[in-house]
Amino acid sequence: MTKAEIISQWSAALDSGSFLTAKHDAASLSITFKKFRTVLSPEASSSLLSFIKSGSYAIRHYEDNNYPAGAGIFEIVPSGQTPFTVAGSGVQSGSLTPSGSYDRLVVVDGPQQGPHVYAEDSSRITGSANIGRWVFKSEL
């Protein structure tokens, strides 16, 4: 799949409203979840449509060994300045309060949800790759 095809797929999910799910939307912080989650920062959320469609980033594609039949993990690596300084924050299980800061956007393409975005820390991405959970496939 080319970068243009991926951006087209993500743009369709953005247009349909499925790209940013309630679980990862800071506007849904009034809802608790049973497991840890990340939420996009308000800056990242409000600029998501224009940022994704701009293509001003590289995409690192990883295979997730926990889900080998899946489409994989797509790390969005900004090239230059982004419209947001923090991609998102973590929210502990049962909490309504985000904490910490995450510097990357990651897209997964699940069989039920389709492509959707969440915030991640680049050091956790590196850690997942170092232990062999995520296997680097290509950079687009």
Do 40 and 88 touch, CB atoms closer than 8 A?
yes
Mean pLDDT in the chain?
94
Q: What is the pTM of this model?
A: 0.93
AA letter at 96: L
Cα dihedral 104, 47, 101, 28 sign: negative
Tens digit of each residue's pLDDT (9 = 90 or more) over 99-118: 999 999 999 997 788 899 99
Q: How does 22-36 read in b/e, with b if 16+ C-beta sit within 10 Å?
A: ebbbbebeeeeeeee
For 29-77, how does the pLDDT look when each residue is reduced to its tens digit (9 = 90+)?
A: 999 999 999 999 999 999 999 999 999 999 999 999 998 888 999 999 9
Strands of the sheet containing 114-120, edge to edge, are 114-120, 104-110, 73-78, 57-64, 134-139
